[in-house]
Structure 1
Amino acid sequence: METLDPAPLRADARRNHDRIRTAAVEIFRERGLSAPLEDVAAAAHVSKATVFNRFGGRAGLIDAVIDDVAAQELLGVIERARAVVDIGERIRWYVAALRDLQYRQPAVNGVILRQVPGSRGLMELCGQGECFHEELVEQGVASGFLAGTFEPEDFHALAIETALVLEERGRPPRPSYDRRTTFLLDGIARPARVARPGRPDRHASRDGSGEGTDPGGEA
């Protein structure tokens, strides 16, 4: 059965719609997805009831602005990460870029925390992030950059923990935040096995094949 297109909005209704959308983009980007709808309405010079009439509530409003407040930048980070050839560098670049985005854009943390599960656009964006994490882990473990016990949920947890801290405690000074990013990046990479000075690597054979054991054992 054919469906009819919605009737075009009257000029005043269209102006309200556009003002609400513009205000929501500005406020959600600045203050996050949990910002009061009353503030959006005030910035748009309409009533809260008008926001509900035009968008059906917070979930509908977020669906209308998710591209501008979070999706474009989040998906851009994913695509730029995919362009990094070396998997180790790809993982390091992605984690650093995501943390930078979380610091700069509070709305991104609302997406990561799934603050509005009724928003289809938000949940679809979360799904794309999860798929990318699975991709990173599969390739990172296969390359040896990540430990075999590393799981996609570990990437999710790292992003969620960062989001919670930023949401609850606010943004720390940028140099401190960046320093902790370095600590995090150094921690997730699988450490290279290094032989003790003056002694052979206990996991390496005398011919370098890796089949032997440490001569004489270890005290």
Structure 2
Amino acid sequence: MKASAAVSLRADAARNVAQIRAAAIAAFRGRGLSTPLEEIALAAGVSKATIYNRFGGREGLIDAVIGDLVAAEMDTIMGRARAVGDPWRALVTYVGDRRDLQFREPAFTDALLMTYPNSPRLVALANAATDTTVHLLRRGHDAGVLRPGFTAADLYYADVANGLALRALGEQTREDYDRRTRFFIDSLASR
């Protein structure tokens, strides 16, 4: 009897974890990583305490879902840009793809801001993105195609400003957003 109760609890626990993950992905995808845990718990049909029990709190929950939200896509973005032979095209690809992800995924701005610095997966993602940015900018400077003096910190602050503007100013059309992204990218070219 005890064995069947333990199996039942494990099945319940696994179902709770799956429901919490699904609810967190849906909530974070819509509004970013600061969505209240109470809302995620309600959507998952569990208590907030269950989130803490299963994930250890917000950072654990973020670690459990950040791959689904932005990490896997950022890995693809970084790999794609690094694979482009032409230094300018590599930068255009990288910046354009990052801006595209930022438009579609509010959690990307939270990742940029390191809103939750105790999340190991977010820290790893930030370190990988910084390494890729430095590499691509170095290639652009060495080839003479990138505006002199433009740094990884400059790109970071431009992306943060872009993300905060997306949040604060509400909706804009995709066409307008893409046009503004092209203006930004064009401003990076050496003259």
What is residue 122 of structure 1 aligned with on the other side?
A: 122
For 1:30, the equivalent position in structure 2 comes to 30
| Native 8 Å contact 2:21 2:64 kept in 1 | yes
Residue by residue over 1:139-179, the C-alpha shift from the partner in whole angstroms, topping out at 9 and shown as x without a partner, is: 11100011331211112112111111122223322111111
Alpha-carbon distance in structure 1 between the residues aligned to 2:73 and 2:36: 23
Q: Which residue of 1 aligns with 2:49?
A: 49
Residues in 1 aligned to 2:75 and 2:60: alpha-carbon distance in whole angstroms:
21
Partner of 1:217: none
Alignment of structure 1 residues 185-196 onto 2, 5 Å: 185-191=185-191
Partner Cα distance (1:179, 1:79) in 2: 25
**Does residue 159 in structure 1 map to residue 159 in structure 2?**
yes
Q: Tell me the amino acid that sits aligned with residue 118 of structure 1.
A: N
CA offset at residue 78 of structure 1? Answer: 0.8
CA RMSD of aligned residues (A): 1.5
Aligned residues: 185
Q: Using the TM superposition, give the Cα deviation of residue 80 of structure 1 relative to its aligned residue in structure 2, in angstroms.
A: 0.9
**TM-score normalised by length of structure 2:** 0.92
Question: Structure 2: which amino acid aligns with 1:36?
Answer: P
Rg comparison, structure with higher value: 1
Map of 1:112 onto structure 2: 112
In structure 2, how many angstroms separate the alpha carbons of the residues matched to 1:110 and 1:167? Answer: 11
Partner of 2:140: 140
Match of 2:102 in 1: 102
Q: Distance in 1 between matches of 2:13 and 2:123?
A: 28
| AA at the equivalent of 2:135 | E
Structure 2 unaligned residues grouped into runs of 5+: 1-5
Quote the Cα distance in structure 2 between the aligned partners of 1:32 and 1:19. Answer: 18
Structure 1 segments of 4+ aligned residues over 4 angstroms from their partners? none
Paired AA for residue 106 in structure 1 = P
Identity across matched positions, percent: 45
Indicate the larger mover: 86-95 or 149-158.
149-158
- Stretch moving more, 166-175 or 22-31: 166-175
Any residues of structure 2 matched to 1:78-89 within 5 Å, and which?
78-89=78-89
Work out whether residues 99 and 159 of structure 2, in 8 Å CA contact, stay in contact via their aligned partners in 1. Answer: yes
Question: Could you tell me which residue of structure 2 aligns to residue 184 of structure 1?
Answer: 184
Structure showing greater relative contact order (alpha-carbon pairs closer than 8 Å, 6 or more residues apart): 2
TM-score (norm 1): 0.80
* 2:60 match: 60
In 2, distance between residues paired with 1:160 and 1:150? 16
Task: State whether residues 103 and 171 of structure 1, in contact with CA within 8 Å, keep that contact through their aligned partners in structure 2.
Answer: no
Distance 1:143 1:157 in 2: 24
State the SS of the aligned residue for 1:10.
helix
